[in-house]
Structure 1
């Protein structure tokens, strides 16, 4: 079940962020941005959702900006990796974008997170550009939102 995170989830989300992004520290040469994000503030803004086991097995941070849904971070507990939790969380973000009538989901990842460079295209995301930002070498992706069907015909 995916639900909006509450402050009660804060410690678990921070634990997941630390564990899921730790492997990238040596590649990047510093802590990835999600490890130091103000998750408590993001929870307060309603931007954090968890895949609840319970306890939460993963989390995602996203919000709408204009006609875009910005997907900021996804983390899955290492002991829950490979179970489709990350994909489910990303799918939830995409569904919310469709529900809100937005045009696209936009995200970025670090160029040294090579697994993501192949995963996002596999999920339908297209690389739009690369740039240095906040001292990170970032690769930007976007995916058009598939409009929700408004048909009431159950055969469609």
Structure 2
């Protein structure tokens, strides 16, 4: 699988079912820990697609990861990053994060922001290692979130 062609590009409407399945598989393990559905499992991916905010990582032509990027005042919001379970361990998460940060710069932002649930400690550690710093915490729709930011310049 080392030579598998990998691309990151806008999602296509026919990929919505695969995208929803990927999100469900990626976030379902957190449900018992959180006691409720994580935010990404509540999202409207057809709306993200229609708005041009949904990108997919394709490996050998199959959806193996995704990004939801939202333009916001003064920054790019990395609203979601997920990798299919069977595709984990191949560096796809790093590629997606690198792409999001490069896209923020391409769009003229000097910072990128994200948020995650406080119980997703593994993700928080990954983001911190990448240079993201906590800015604040808040509760949104019953979800206890940690907000993080990375300055890109």
1:117 aligns with 2:124: yes
TM-score w.r.t. the length of structure 2 is 0.92
Q: Which residue of 2 aligns with 1:145?
A: 152
1:68 aligns with 2:75: yes
2:148 is paired with a residue whose SS is strand
User: Larger C-alpha radius of gyration, 1 or 2?
Assistant: 1
1:46 aligns with 2:87: no
2:76 is paired with a residue whose SS is strand
2:29 is paired with a residue whose SS is helix
Q: 5+ unaligned residues in a row in structure 2: which ranges?
A: 1-6
2:55 is paired with a residue whose SS is strand
2:77 is paired with a residue whose SS is strand
**Offset at 1:45?**
0.3
Q: 5+ unaligned residues in a row in structure 1: which ranges?
A: 147-156
1:106 is paired with a residue whose SS is strand
Q: Give a deviation string over 1:8-50, Cα, whole Å, max 9, x none.
A: 1101110100000011000000110101200001000000101
Q: Give a deviation string over 1:109-140, Cα, whole Å, max 9, x none.
A: 00001101211011110111111111111001
C-alpha distance in structure 2 between counterparts of 1:96 and 1:28, whole Å: 31
How many residues get paired? 146
Q: Which residue of 2 aligns with 1:151?
A: none
TM-score w.r.t. the length of structure 1 is 0.91
C-alpha distance in structure 1 between counterparts of 2:50 and 2:109, whole Å: 23
Q: Give a deviation string over 1:85-126, Cα, whole Å, max 9, x none.
A: 111111111111111111210110000011012110111101
Alignment root-mean-square deviation, CA: 0.9
User: Where do 1:70-89 residues align within 5 Å?
Assistant: 70-89=77-96
C-alpha distance in structure 1 between counterparts of 2:97 and 2:114, whole Å: 11
